[in-house]
Every structure is written in structure tokens, then in C-alpha cells.
Structure 1
Amino acid sequence: MPAGTVKVNLIGASAIKDSEWIGKGDPYVVIMCGKREVTSNVAKNQGSTPVWNQKFHFYVDDSDTDVQIKIYNENALQTDDIIGTTTISLSDAFSQKKLPVTQYTLEPRGDIGLQISYTPKVKPAVRLTQSFPGPYGSQTHSSPYVQAQPEAKQDGEYFTGHYGQHHGQHHGSSTRY
């Protein structure tokens, strides 16, 4: 797969294990793509049917081929419980560029709703210039046919790249631009 940006739109989950004895669970998601990791917001008291509606961008290189999802239940006094996992191949996203919202099966139970898209990295074009002697000294001519492409815009969504502790020992944090 060529380098580019993978966008994961985290919608919500259903039928996941609610590991709370009293009240409803506080699930959150850790998404890993390649060596990068982001953590969603905690869905406080949403139990087995949490909704996040968050978007994350991952800058990927040639070796990144899947997205790993882990759902945890946040615990105040203990280590957070892992309550569901899945690994999603990015091959369909690479060929189709944007997948519809899809329910992916979690182990040991439940589903997670995601929309995944892929945008290949566009190499900036180089403006061609040519110098030639003229009656008033050397002159430079720029080609109007080659234009540089802008970098991926930062539209208020979450981008990976800044790491730190967020919900204990298992997770990195994401940065909002």
C-alpha cells in the first residue's frame, strides 16, 4: 500500500460486555494503525451500546496494512478491563478509497461501527523554472502547468502523532488541531 492518510470514523458499538457490577460501564476505544495509537473519549455510563462519533486520521506508510481496535471499560480503582477486540484489514479501503459505515464483529462479543477511508499521499509537484539571457539580463520563466498540491487540511478532527498517557498504562493520546 502506498503512503497516505487513513481516516477512521468511530461511530459506536452494540452488544458489548458491560463489566460493571453497579451502574453502566464507561467504554472507550483504542485504535492502532501501524505504530500509532489513539484513544477515544470515554462514553460515560453508556454500558453495552456506547456512541462516540469521533474521527481520527492516521498517516500511514507502505508497511501499514490493518487497523487494530480494542474496547476498554474505564475503572476508577482498578486496571481498565478489555471488553472487545478486532483487527480490520485496510485492503478494501486502499482499493475503494472510502468504505460505507460497517459493523465489525468484536471478540468475545459485540459489534463496532466504523467508516474507514484512505487518501493516497500526493507528492508536491515542482514548479519548473527556466533561466535564459534577455536584453535586460538573465530572466526566469515559471511554468503555469505545474502546481504544488496542498498538504492534508486540518479540519478540527483528531490527528495522530503526539503521544502520552491518557487512560492509564494502555494508551497514547490524540491531539486536536
Structure 2
Amino acid sequence: MSISGIQGQLLEVTVVGCTKLKDTEWISRQDPYVCLEYGSAKFRTRTCTDGGKNPTFQEKFIFTLIEGLREINVHVWNSNTLTMDDLIGSGRIQLQRVLHEGYDDSSWPLQTKHGRHAGEVRLILHHPNLNKRPNNQAMSFPTYAPSAPPQHQSTYNVPYTQPPPTAYPPVACYPNQTPSAYPPLYPPPPVPMSSYPPAPYRPQPAVYPPPPYPPTTYPPATYPPAPYPGYPGTYPPY
């Protein structure tokens, strides 16, 4: 996000504490406090009595951002009762990161008025308006005309056209044959069948009783039969 257009927006600054401060006391422990300056706005933390070199504050202040002003001045003092307060160190807090990302938790170096290292101060910066756009900067999306649905050509609606005639002569029929009609008839004509059910079987009547075989005369001849010619004596023998 661009850091322009921040005029009038809010910035939350939390003073967490200080570490490794320069000690300005000879006998007792020093009592530090922190002052913040941004434009004409000035804030001061409470005094951390006997805080020494590592005081803790945990105090939050709210600044109104000013267009073009990208840093906060910080000063750490030692509170005295009988004499004037002593300056422990000062520094500058850069706001580029919190204006870009919306959050910054960092420790910033402090220097004495002679340019020597005087410890560090830890601040937590929060820009709650980072994700809020003014009404005149609302995001606009381009509008696109709806595309026409794709047209698919169906292969079933194409009119049928007969193929062009060929230049070859028609095929001659074989002798004693006549060309059949085309296309063939469907269904084919039924095949002639005999009547159903079939007529009952009537066998030829036989003559009864059957004639004798071989045919003989009846009644038979007298018994005993006549003797065989040429046989001597009488028959039967005795």
C-alpha cells in the first residue's frame, strides 16, 4: 500500500520499556521515563522509580498522522528531585514499515547528546487504518460485456444430397436373370406351408381273416393217406 494519503489517520504507539540504558546516578538507582514527540503532539510515560538500566512501562499512546512526517522523536530522561532531570539518550523512530505493513515491533537505539550509545527503547507501532480505504479510493473493477455462448453446428440437421452420378456404364445382367428391385422388400413374403394340423392317418383296411398260406382245401383228406405208390406191402406195416 502506498504511504500517501495518511493525513488524519491514527497511529498507536506502545512504549514497552528500555534496555541497557546509560546510568546517570552515582549512588542510587536512576528513575527513567520516556517522552515522545510527533509534530506538535507530545506524550510522557510515568516515571519508573528505581528502574535503573532496564525500566518497564507498557503504556500506549495514540497519534494523529501528518502527511509528509515519517518519524517520531523519542527521549529518555532520568527524574531528579532536587536538580533538573538528566537526559539519558534520544533517538528517531521511522514509520515507513508500520505504514506499509500496519505493524512494527522493534527496538530502537538511543544516543547521548555527545553521540555515544545510551541503550535501546522498545516500541510497538500499530496502524489500524491500513486496510480501510477512503470512499474516493474504493477499488473499481473493469466491467466486461458477457460473451455470447459458443455455437455448435449439429451434424444431424445437414440436408441429405445425393452423390453425383458416376461416368461408369451400368453393370449388365447375366443371361436369364432379371435385376431385382432395390431396395428389397421387408419383411419378405411368407413361405407357403402345409395346413396344420395334418390330416389323421387312415390305414388301408385288411381282409380278415387272411387267406390261408399255402391255400388248402378244407376239410382235409381222409386219414390215413393212401399208400405211396411203389411201396411193397400195406401201409402202415404191422
What pairs with 1:119-130 in structure 2 (closer than 5 Å)? 119-120=128-129
* Aligned-residue RMSD, C-alpha: 1.8
Match of 2:110 among 106, 111, 117: 106
Q: Deviations over 1:12-48 (max 9, x none)?
A: 1111112112211000000011221000000000111
Q: Deviations over 1:144-172 (max 9, x none)?
A: xxxxxxxxxxxxxxxxxxxxxxxxxxxxx
Q: How many angstroms apart in 1 are the aligned matches of 2:50 and 2:101?
A: 36
Q: How many angstroms apart in 2 are the aligned matches of 1:34 and 1:96?
A: 22
Q: TM-score, normalised by structure 1?
A: 0.65
Partner in structure 2 of residue 116 of structure 1: 125
SS in 1 for 2:97: helix
Give yes or no for contact 1:34–1:65 (8 Å, CA) kept in 2: no
Amino acid across the alignment from 1:37: K
Q: How many angstroms apart in 1 are the aligned matches of 2:134 and 2:72?
A: 27
Q: How many angstroms apart in 2 are the aligned matches of 1:85 and 1:105?
A: 8
Assess, with a 3 A threshold, how the Cα gap between structure 1 residues 123 and 96 changes in structure 2: closer, same or farther: closer
Partner in structure 2 of residue 74 of structure 1: 79
Match of 2:31 among 23, 26, 31: 26
Give yes or no for contact 1:34–1:63 (8 Å, CA) kept in 2: no
SS in 1 for 2:128: strand
Q: TM-score, normalised by structure 2?
A: 0.49
Bigger strand share: 1
SS in 2 for 1:112: strand
Match of 1:56 among 54, 61, 67: 61
Q: CA deviation at 1:62?
A: 1.0
SS in 2 for 1:62: coil
Larger Rg: 2
Q: How many angstroms apart in 1 are the aligned matches of 2:40 and 2:128?
A: 19
Q: How many angstroms apart in 1 are the aligned matches of 2:19 and 2:125?
A: 18
Q: Deviations over 1:91-112 (max 9, x none)?
A: 111001111x211111132111
Q: CA deviation at 1:123?
A: 8.3
Give yes or no for contact 1:34–1:66 (8 Å, CA) kept in 2: no
Size of the aligned set, in residue pairs, is 124
Tell me whether 114-123 or 13-22 shows the greater mean CA deviation. Answer: 114-123
Q: Hey, which bits of structure 1, 4+ residues long, moved more than 4 A?
A: 121-125
Task: Give percent identity, aligned residues only.
Answer: 24
Amino acid across the alignment from 2:89: G
Q: Deviations over 1:105-158 (max 9, x none)?
A: 111321111111123396887xxxxxxxxxxxxxxxxxxxxxxxxxxxxxxxxx
Match of 2:89 among 68, 84, 91: 84
Amino acid across the alignment from 1:116: L
Assess, with a 3 A threshold, how the Cα gap between structure 1 residues 92 and 124 changes in structure 2: closer, same or farther: closer
